[in-house]
């Protein structure tokens, strides 16, 4: 469960969110349209997305209240603190202005690879569950804090336990010498009410007695879910279920014939955001290669300027990056790419 490893953007940024990130089917939504529902603006496509094998969930919005703080609002909305902060870089996560429009990021592209069992993606701080004949489910998760890590690779659920006993690790006992050697079920048990034990000894997928740690870097390597989410997952996952842990902060997928791109910050920037509420802008490595591979024969339709905006913002929301005319898109491509396609 606990293993060590080394390991208020301005309002102009919000304009970038609206213009470059929250794209409507007919173009880009500008700030007034996003914030003034009373005039009946177009709904965002991802508020009611068309069926897609690459997408789960839907986007939604709400108005900020004077008493809102993201660390308390995230559990109430069922999303993670970091992803809520990323999607709302125009707001102060501790004192959002009453009446401001909050983006609720409940929509995500699925990680790559086989879609079966459980996929834990530390890159977007989400757990995905796949059950044959059903739509996938997605849950925000708490992951390892600085100085700790969760192994990546494949394992399986080897045991399930309701009301588990928590045995604090040596590092937990070193940090908190007053902890008992065993903590019975109850309000002091950090595993919460349900636990899935993995083939990796000491690593679990479990609940929590402090929901504010979900969607953040808060554990010593285990995967934490909100109490209501782990209860649902626990009931749906049999022993033997495959578990794959990946790190994919950049994801692509197709929705209604268009290529979408979802970018999250890398681990270091995500940790810094978790601590400060601010995101440093850095280029995403190998992004062009990822988008080129995903686009395939539709490469000429990629809007590379939009790809760059999505990359810079890293807001963790799927954004359409195709749709330009073939001639305009080709004009934006480097000369070597244009020549190679002839």
The two tokens of residue 16 are 């970038």
Measured distance CA(212)–CA(59) in Å, rounded? 22
Cα distances from 102 to residues 15, 46, 93, in angstroms, run: 14, 15, 10
Of 33-37, 45-49, 89-93, 172-176, minimum mean pLDDT range: 33-37
- Does 44 qualify as catalytic in the annotation? no
The two tokens of residue 66 are 């004077």
pTM tops 0.75? yes
Query: Which are the contacts of 23, defined by CB distance < 8 A and separation ≥ 6?
Result: 29, 45, 306, 319, 320
Q: What confidence tens digit (pLDDT) does each residue in 301-319 have? A: 999 999 999 999 999 999 9
* Environment class of 121 (CB within 10 Å of its CB; exposed 0-12, middle 13-18, buried 19+): buried
Q: Domain spans of the chain?
A: 11-108+249-340, 114-246
Closest C-alpha among 104, 103, 99, 107 to residue 38: 99
- The whole-number pLDDT of residue 212 equals 93
Q: Which is the catalytic residue, given 3, 90, 108, 222?
A: 222
Give CA angle at 60 (249, 314), nearest 5°. Answer: 25
Q: Which is the catalytic residue, given 206, 217, 229, 264?
A: 206
Which fold, 114-246? L,D-transpeptidase catalytic domain-like (2.40.440)
- The whole-number pLDDT of residue 41 equals 55
State the DSSP H helix or E strand holding residue 274, giving kind and residue range, or none if neither. Answer: helix 267-276
Measured distance CA(58)–CA(67) in Å, rounded? 26
- Does 28 qualify as catalytic in the annotation? no
Tell how strand 107-109 and strand 55-57 pair up: antiparallel
Measured distance CA(116)–CA(127) in Å, rounded? 12
Q: What confidence tens digit (pLDDT) does each residue in 142-195 have? A: 999 988 888 999 999 999 999 999 999 888 899 899 999 999 999 999 999 999
Q: What confidence category does residue 275 fall into, taking pLDDT thresholds of 50, 70 and 90?
A: confident
């Amino acid at each position: 469960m606990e293993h060590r490893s080394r390991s208020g953007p301005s309002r102009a940024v919000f304009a970038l969110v609206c213009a470059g990130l929250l794209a409507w089917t007919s173009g880009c939504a500008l700030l007034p349209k996003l914030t003034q529902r009373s005039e009946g603006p177009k709904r965002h496509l991802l508020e009611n997305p068309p069926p897609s094998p690459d997408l789960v969930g839907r986007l939604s919005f709400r108005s900020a209240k004077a008493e809102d703080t993201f660390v308390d609002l995230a559990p109430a909305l069922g999303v993670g603190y970091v992803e809520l902060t990323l999607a709302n870089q125009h707001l102060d996560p501790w004192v959002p202005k009453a009446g401001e429009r909050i983006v609720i990021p409940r929509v995500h592209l699925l990680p790559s690879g086989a879609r079966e069992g459980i996929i834990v993606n530390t890159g977007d701080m989400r757990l995905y569950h796949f059950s044959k004949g059903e739509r996938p489910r997605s849950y925000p998760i708490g992951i390892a804090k600085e100085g700790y890590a969760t192994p990546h690779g494949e394992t399986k659920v080897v045991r399930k336990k309701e009301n588990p006993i928590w045995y604090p690790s040596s590092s937990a006992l070193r940090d908190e010498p007053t902890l008992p050697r065993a903590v019975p079920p109850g309000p002091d048990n950090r595993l919460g009410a349900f636990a899935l034990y993995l083939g990796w000894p000491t690593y679990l997928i479990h609940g929590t007695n402090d929901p504010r740690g979900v969607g953040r870097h808060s554990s010593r390597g285990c995967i934490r879910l909100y109490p209501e989410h782990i209860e649902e997952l626990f009931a749906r996952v049999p022993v033997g279920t495959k578990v794959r842990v990946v790190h994919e902060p950049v994801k692509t997928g197709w929705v209604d014939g268009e290529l979408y791109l979802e970018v999250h910050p890398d681990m270091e920037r995500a940790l810094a955001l978790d601590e400060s509420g601010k995101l440093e802008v850095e280029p995403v490595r190998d992004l062009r290669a990822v988008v080129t591979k995903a686009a395939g024969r539709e490469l000429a339709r990629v809007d590379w300027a939009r790809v760059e905006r999505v990359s810079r913002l890293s807001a963790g929301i799927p954004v359409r990056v195709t749709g330009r005319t073939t001639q305009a898109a080709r004009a934006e491509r480097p000369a070597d790419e244009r020549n190679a396609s002839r």
